[in-house]
Structure 1
Amino acid sequence: MQFTNGENLKHAVRNAPIGICILDAKNLVAELVNDKFLQVAGKTYESIIGKYYWDAFEEVRNIYEYALNDVVQTGQPYYADEVELSLVRNNQEEVIFVTFVYAPIPDDKGSVNKIAVWVLENTSQVIDRKNKETAKNTIQKERDRLRKFIMQAPAGICVLNGSDLTFELINPLYQALFPGRQLLGKPLLDAVPEIKHQPIWNILQEVYQTGITFEGEALLIPLARNTGGPIEDRFFNFIYQARTDLNENVDGILVFVFEVTDIISGQRELRKTQDSLELAIEASGIGIWTANLITDELIITSRSREIHGIPRTKQLTLTTAFGLIFEEYRAKVTAGINKAVATKQDFCEEYWINPMDGGKPKWLKANGRAYYDESGKPLYITGAIFDLTEQKEDDLRKNDFIGMVSHELKTPLTSLAAMVQVSSAKLKNSEDSFLVSAMTNANNQVKKMTNLINGFLNVTRLESGKIQLDKKNFQMEDLVSDIIDESKLTSSSHVIKLFACKPILIFADADKIGSVISNLLSNAIKYSPKGTQIIVRCDRINDKMQVSVADEGLGIKEDDISHVFDRYYRVENPSQSHISGFGIGLYLSAEIIHQHGGEIWVESKIGKGSIFYFNLPIN
Structure 2
Amino acid sequence: MSTTSVPSHGDAAALVPLPELDPLMRDLLAISLTAVSLLRPAYSEAGEIHDFTLDYLNPAAQRRAGLPEQPSETLRSGFPSTFTNGVFDLYRRTYETGQDGRLDFNYEANGLSHHFQGTARRSGDLLVVSSTDTADQPHAAADATLHQAGAATQADDFSEQVRARQQVQQLNEELAATNAELHATNDEHLRTNTALSEAQHQLRQLNQQLEAHVLERTQDLEGARNEAEAERHRLRALIAEAPALIAQLRGPNHFVELVNERFGSLLSGRELAGLLYRAAMPELKNQPFFDQLDAVYRTGESYYGKEVPAVLDRSNSGQLSTDYFNYTYQATHDASGRVDGILVFAEEVTEQVLARQERETQREQLQNLFMQAPAPIVILDGPAMVYQLVNPAYQRMFPGRELLGKSLLEALPELAGSTIPQLLHEVYTTGEAYLAREMPLRIARHEGAPLEDMYCTFTYQARRTCYGVIDGVLVFAHDVTDQVRARGRVQELNQELAAINEELHTTNEELATSNTQLVSINSDLDNFVYTASHDLKAPISNIEGLLATLREELPAPAKGSEVALILDLIQNSVERFTHTISLLTDITKLQKEYNQFATPVVLSQVIDEVRLDLAPLLQEVGGHLHVNVAATPTITFAEKNLRSVVYNLVSNAFKYHNPEREANVTIRSRVEAAYLVLEVEDNGLGLDLSGDHQLFGLFRRFHTHVEGSGVGLHMVKKLVENAGGKIEVKSKPGQGSTFSVYFPC
Q: TM-score range by the shorter chain?
A: 0.3 to 0.5
Which has the higher relative contact order, 1 or 2, with Cα contacts under 8 A spaced 6 or more apart?
Answer: 1
Which structure features the higher share of helix residues?
Answer: 2
**With structure 1 as the length reference, what TM-score do the two structures score?**
0.39
